[in-house]
Amino acid sequence: MKRTITKEDPYKVCFVCLGNICRSPTAEGIFQHLVNERKLSSYFFIDSAGTSAYHIGEPANSKSQWTANRHGVKLHSKARRFEASDLDEFDLVLAMDHENHRNLQRLSRNGQHSGKIKLMREFDSRPEDGEVPDPYYGGMDGFQNVFDVLKRSCENLLDELEQLVEK
């Protein structure tokens, strides 16, 4: 994760969950929002994906969108599947839970990318069990909780990465 971040060589971050319709697009939207607020958008390339192909092409879940919109965050992404080639493309790949993390590690040829695959909650000041819970089958409180967890984590991640930005 430690390298100088420039406009010519933006830092590429991909947020990954199972279906790419709840947690990872919310993380992508929050991180993009924070990057824009800090006027750092030319220093970052931000994306999200899922380890499954269940929802390819779909927008973020309506409850995720509603929750994000309440906080002034827009979720623009369309679901896609994370591919092994993405490990070559991205500087940092953030899994939402242990299962996603294991699936991403399996895609890494001989473990050569394992250092860039991390759990999202490694950047949370209150990591609990290290997982961002899946709100898909829960109520609105679950979506708000996920938003709060991801906002804290994204703020801490950006604080860390901003120190590497060459302005």
Among the listed residues 14, 17, 22, 154, the single catalytic one is 17
CA distance to 19, 27, 157, per residue, from 162 (Å): 29, 17, 9
Residue 150 near residue 97 (C-beta atoms within 8 A): no
Average pLDDT, the chain: 96
* 22 flagged as catalytic: no
What share of the chain has pLDDT > 90, as a percent? Answer: 90
* 97 flagged as catalytic: no
Among the listed residues 47, 97, 124, 134, the single catalytic one is 134
pLDDT in tens, 6-44: 999 999 999 999 999 999 999 999 999 999 999 999 999
Q: Which domains does the chain have, with CATH numbers?
A: 11-162 (3.40.50.2300)
* 81 flagged as catalytic: no
The count of residues in the chain is: 167
Among the listed residues 23, 121, 124, 154, the single catalytic one is 23
pTM above threshold 0.95: yes
